[in-house]
Amino acid sequence: MGRPPMFLARQGYRRRRLADVSRLLPILGLALFLFPVLDAEDGLTAAMLLYLFAAWFGLIVISLFVARRLCADGERCDDPDGTEGQG
């Protein structure tokens, strides 16, 4: 009798880790946006604004990467209820 595999399949494992990353992105964004507020001594500066826009852009790029990887794994991402193409 064969034993069940000791490790999970790579694709399933990676997909779950990507889903975990997508769930943690809002928390990362909150931390990145609050960092300058906690460090602000002399009000809002140009460097803080540049940091905020860079963090915002970085979150967008990471979200795009994660979403494309999750959609590339074979699941339809453009139709949330699964009714496209029926009838």
Query: Does residue 79 form part of some domain?
Result: no
Query: Does residue 84 form part of some domain?
Result: no
pTM: 0.70
Per-residue pLDDT of the chain (87 residues; tens, 9 = 90+): 677 766 667 778 888 888 999 999 999 999 999 988 887 787 778 888 899 999 999 999 999 999 999 888 655 566 555 555 554
Q: Residue 80: what pLDDT?
A: 55
Q: Residue 50: what pLDDT?
A: 93
Query: Does residue 80 form part of some domain?
Result: no
Please state the domain count of the chain: 1
Q: What is the DSSP string of 11-51?
A: HHHHHHHHHHHHHHHHHHHHHHHHHHHHH-SS---HHHHHH
Query: Does residue 47 form part of some domain?
Result: yes
Domain that holds residue 54: 10-72
